[in-house]
Structure 1
Amino acid sequence: MSNLSGITRQFAALLAVLLLVSACAGPPDDIIGVERRQASQASLKGVKSREVYILTTRAASDDPALLFSGERGEELGLAKVRVTIPPNHEIGRIERARTVPPDPRKAFTIVDPEVFSSNAAFVTDMRKTIRNRPQADREVLLFVHGFNTTLTDAIVRTAQFANDMNFSGIPVVFSWASRGHVLDYVYDLNSTLTARDRLVEGALLLNSASPASFDVVAHSMGNFLTMEAVRQSAMQKKFNTTGKIKTVILASPDIDIDVFETQIRQLPRSQRKFYVLIAQNDKALSFSRKIAGGINRVGDADPERLAKLGVTVVDLTRIQDTDSLNHAKFADAPEVVQLIGYRLAEGSSLETRNLKPGVARNIANTIANLPVTTFGDGHVIALP
């Protein structure tokens, strides 16, 4: 009885923390297509913009300023938007407005939304975008967001990440039906399961637009969805048959470590060249581990155990970022996001010994010549 009482008290304490976090008011989400009339973003000095394509399993929203809701849709939704980035933007941060309409001089905005009525219309538009770019800029970055994320959150994160790592290709967000509420963990987890086929479908659509290559970056619970889609494709002998997937980065994966092992074992070891970004001080994954019966998540698991699976583990535990939960270092920590950007641009490894002189100098000065520990055919890199 005393053990049960202890577990009850622990869960109650965890619930209290989650309620406190969820009670904090965040920035408004109803900003899609909402612009200030005083000036167009294009005419404002120093404001940059990025076009972001959207693949989503969310149902359409009745509110056009939200575009898609947190509920599950029956079909894959297809759209694109333009995200503006303010002149005062700092690498690793997302400047969000507290009121509507957002001021593009001070905060991210999402404008010019376009929803495609068919797969063909989406592919035609993306193919045109790809063909109008230089050959070196025809790469697609597919970002799969995590738990407790609204569509607006997902869009601005994709744009911020692409901007901060100087990605010159085309950013695409796969936005599954998260309700964007911290207490909807189970709903969100089930939403990832319902999205597996749609992620595979979306990847095929992107490939139909004839990009030069793909990079995939997943965050938090989005890794569970990504790995389930990878497992499904591998079982059907269809994973990366075109050879266009250059890099797969799994950032702070919220996946049961035992489940992850079953997922990745469906791939031959030659195809397990994934980068797994972990942090032992990830507080969000600590909460998840408690909810999941004390089983480690991949994002805070033993690096040696992961490396023995044939992946490259990048340990970010000592890296400081702007997120108090230490759960988004891949995009919030400037040295990490720029290191990833360099990796994607050069097609080399995340091992900092490969940094060229004069390239990403702020990274090289901080974390150059780090030792790499090898376990089997996997590796562990610990950033200081």
Structure 2
Amino acid sequence: MVSRFLFLCLLVALTACTRPQAEGFVAPIPEASRETLLIATLRSEGQRGQMFGEKRATTMSYAEVEVSIPPNHQIGRIERSHGQINPRRHFAPLSATPLADSAALMRRLASERQAADEPLLVFVHGYNNTLEDAAFRLAQIQHDFELKNPALLFSWPSAGDPLGYAYDRDSVLFARTDLARLLQELNGAGQRRVIVLAHSMGGYLVMEALRQLALEGRSRTISALDGVVLMSPDIDPDVFRKQAQEIGTLPQPFVIMTTQKDRVLNVASLLTGRKERLGRIQNAEDLDGLDVTVLDFSLFETGENMGHMVPVSSPTAIRFLRRLTKGVGLAAEEFSRYVLLGESRRDGRLLQ
């Protein structure tokens, strides 16, 4: 009876996360915006007509991808087609160019760089994501946050299936060594300013990669990061504390973005034995003693994805964070839209 109840909860909450997938590329139109991003992935090639599918590959692949964003784009949304793609109305894939190896990736990152003072954003997607899902989301983030440089997507082999939760957690462990190696290669190639943004189960993957770097004695790669942001992390808080202790000194700033409106993490709690997830913590004591900043986005509208991506899907949150990341001064009453859990960090690190 209990298992049937959990299964029904999963279906009700997550079938809305299923989505159409584009097949092939479309021709660009002048009025649409274009975003370029780089991809490093452990997905195997040639499944379901896609460049990369859900099956696990034993070696990394790399590519440069161009995505078209429609002229009617609404901030925070990913306008997707349920039929034929129309670039005047929908996000659309324009091209995907394979890169030979990690050295070619590093060269493209260097050659595409337009703003020397802007850190490289490395995005690690979450559970139930195809490569197209993650690429469209990163293109939306680049566009809505007005990033000048192409970002880098690390796409681990999620099944892209709402019923693939256990497969995805195994895939996190499968991918952690390669993510750790990628961060090390970025540092070695001269990418001195790197910010890692991880969503949902991707936060678990990032913590495992940082832990592996620490256990291998590569703390310099960790300290070189400009910051880490875990958005709606699907991690057991006890596991997170253990990971943080084994990592040692966390990159700074280290930000955890939460919301009590996250219905996807509600389901994850049921699937993991009714255990609270890090992205829905309510008590500051849960992270007492850790050098982290927790921002609770519960007072913002939920945006798309059932409250699971509020910081990048809520128009109000995006506008606020865009001002914050650009160093625009914020009044105390504006900042009060956030609830800071734990030690207050109104010391200039996050609030200018």
Instruction: Give the alignment partner of residue 117 of structure 1, picking from 78, 95, 100.
Output: 100
CA contact (8 A) 1:167 1:341 kept: no
Kindly indicate whether residue 74 of structure 2 is the aligned counterpart of residue 93 of structure 1.
Answer: no
Which residue is equivalent to 1:325? Answer: 306
Which residue is equivalent to 2:36? Answer: 51
Compared CA separation, residues 333 and 370, structure 1 to 2 (3 A)? closer
Provide Cα deviations, 1:296-332, integer angstroms capped at 9, x if missing partner.
1101123402254221010112211223621111211
Q: Secondary structure at the match of 1:288?
A: helix
Distance in 1 separating the partners of 2:47 and 2:335: 51
Which residue is equivalent to 1:83? Answer: 67
Distance in 2 separating the partners of 1:26 and 1:373: 33
What are the within-5 Å matches in structure 2 for residues 291-306 of structure 1?
291-304=271-284, 305-306=286-287
Distance in 1 separating the partners of 2:91 and 2:72: 10
Which residue is equivalent to 1:28? Answer: 20
Kindly indicate whether residue 218 of structure 2 is the aligned counterpart of residue 238 of structure 1.
Answer: yes
Name the amino acid aligned to 1:262.
K
Kindly indicate whether residue 335 of structure 2 is the aligned counterpart of residue 356 of structure 1.
Answer: no
Kindly indicate whether residue 257 of structure 2 is the aligned counterpart of residue 277 of structure 1.
Answer: yes
Compared CA separation, residues 44 and 253, structure 1 to 2 (3 A)? same
> Looking at CA atoms only, which structure, 1 or 2, has the larger radius of gyration?
1
Instruction: Give the alignment partner of residue 67 of structure 1, picking from 37, 51, 61.
Output: 51
Please state how far the C-alpha of 1:128 moved relative to its aligned partner.
2.0
Name the amino acid aligned to 1:320.
E
Compared CA separation, residues 10 and 280, structure 1 to 2 (3 A)? farther
Compared CA separation, residues 247 and 271, structure 1 to 2 (3 A)? closer
Distance in 2 separating the partners of 1:192 and 1:373: 29
Distance in 1 separating the partners of 2:156 and 2:109: 20
CA contact (8 A) 2:45 2:53 kept: yes
Instruction: Give the alignment partner of residue 15 of structure 1, picking from 7, 15, 18.
Output: 7
**Stretches of structure 2 lacking an aligned partner (at least 5 in a row):** 347-352
Instruction: Give the alignment partner of residue 168 of structure 2, picking from 180, 188, 213.
Output: 188
Name the amino acid aligned to 1:339.
F
Bigger drift between 219-228 and 164-173 goes to 164-173
Q: Secondary structure at the match of 1:170?
A: coil
Bigger drift between 255-264 and 367-376 goes to 367-376
Compared CA separation, residues 210 and 270, structure 1 to 2 (3 A)? closer
Compared CA separation, residues 160 and 185, structure 1 to 2 (3 A)? same
**Stretches of structure 1 lacking an aligned partner (at least 5 in a row):** 1-8, 347-354, 358-363, 380-384
Please state how far the C-alpha of 1:21 moved relative to its aligned partner.
5.3
Work out the percentage of aligned pairs sharing the same amino acid: 30
- What is the RMSD of the two structures over their aligned residues, measured on CA atoms? 2.6
Distance in 2 separating the partners of 1:279 and 1:23: 21
Name the amino acid aligned to 2:207.
M
CA contact (8 A) 2:293 2:343 kept: no
Query: What is the number of residues matched between the two proteins?
Result: 345
Name the amino acid aligned to 2:81.
A
